[in-house]
């Protein structure tokens, strides 16, 4: 508790760190996500342990105020989830719990060369998965904050002079990002929507563990889509509003229907061959998600 500020600085470093040539240092860099910060911490811990040994991994945990027992618990949970996916045929497990090279099952799960990890370091794809998992725990920036430029971090129009922070709503009332979140002090957000893990009420209604998500995430994995053709507006679940041409909104409704069909087929026959529709659909959705998050001119 006496080192709370140092711990907060360490967490902020995970989401702002860049390489010497200015590229993101990890999956969480500039993504405005508590969840991806956890992913970055876990990934670094496992990589250090695999490459430099247990001592280097321990030193990283000590320097960044991370709990080794908690990280071990997460690793065990990942293995359990992967085992469940293997049991229903979504993953083909190596025999005897070892990969072809004799490494442990945990190493096999973390192997980025495995096809199931092809988008493991693609933040826009992981964020879409987080949206799918946490929905309907969503908050939206209010219209005045959007118009003031608080949701313009992906655009060259970004650069607020005001000291005010954006205002958020859960569709019924104003909500606030919890001080423990990496997004608490941010003024310029990548997008005007976020998902959260839980909501707590003290002096205000706070959102814990937040991740900024995109309109595409909501259109693909949110609630019912209502297309207002005349006004060029799309409303998700009756309150999440966004601007979109009617053709785009209809396209996403069709994409969502096709994705639901592919998932139902896969769940019904998990060990069957992947359909031609799925082979085209999934890469197309990944391309949409990645392209949307590119900086706008």
pLDDT digits (tens, 9 = 90+) for 221-268: 999 999 998 888 999 999 999 988 888 888 999 999 999 998 888 888
Separation CA 32–CA 35 (nearest Å): 9
Mean per-residue pLDDT of the chain: 89
Least confident of 28-37, 89-98, 162-171: 89-98
Q: Residue 101 — very low, low, confident or very high, per pLDDT cuts 50/70/90? A: very low
Q: For residue 39, what pLDDT is reported?
A: 95
Separation CA 171–CA 198 (nearest Å): 15
């Amino acid at each position: 508790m006496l080192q709370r500020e140092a711990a907060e600085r360490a967490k902020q470093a995970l989401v702002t760190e860049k390489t010497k040539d200015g590229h993101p240092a990890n999956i969480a860099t500039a993504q405005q996500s508590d969840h991806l910060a956890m992913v970055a911490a876990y990934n670094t811990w496992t990589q250090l342990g695999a490459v430099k040994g247990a001592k280097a991994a321990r030193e990283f945990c000590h320097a960044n105020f991370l709990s080794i027992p908690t990280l071990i618990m997460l690793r065990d949970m990942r293995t359990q989830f992967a085992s469940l996916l293997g049991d229903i045929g979504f993953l083909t497990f190596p025999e005897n719990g070892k990969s072809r090279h004799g490494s442990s099952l945990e190493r096999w799960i973390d192997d980025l060369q495995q096809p199931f990890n092809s988008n493991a370091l693609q933040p826009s794809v992981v964020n879409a998965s987080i949206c799918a998992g946490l929905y309907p725990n969503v908050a939206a920036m209010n219209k005045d904050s959007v118009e003031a430029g608080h949701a313009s971090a992906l655009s060259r129009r970004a650069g607020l002079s005001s000291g005010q922070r954006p205002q958020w709503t859960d569709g019924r009332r104003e909500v606030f990002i919890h001080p423990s979140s990496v997004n608490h002090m941010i003024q310029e957000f990548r997008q005007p929507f976020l998902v959260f893990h839980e909501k707590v009420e003290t002096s205000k209604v706070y959102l814990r563990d937040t991740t900024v998500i995109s309109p595409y995430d909501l259109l693909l994995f949110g609630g019912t889509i209502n297309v207002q053709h005349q006004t060029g507006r799309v409303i998700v679940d009756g309150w999440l509003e966004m601007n979109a041409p009617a053709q785009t909104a209809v396209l996403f409704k069709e994409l969502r229907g096709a994705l639901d069909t592919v998932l139902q087929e896969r769940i019904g026959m998990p060990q069957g061959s992947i359909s031609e529709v799925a082979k085209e659909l999934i890469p197309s959705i990944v391309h949409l998600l990645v392209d949307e998050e590119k900086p706008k001119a």
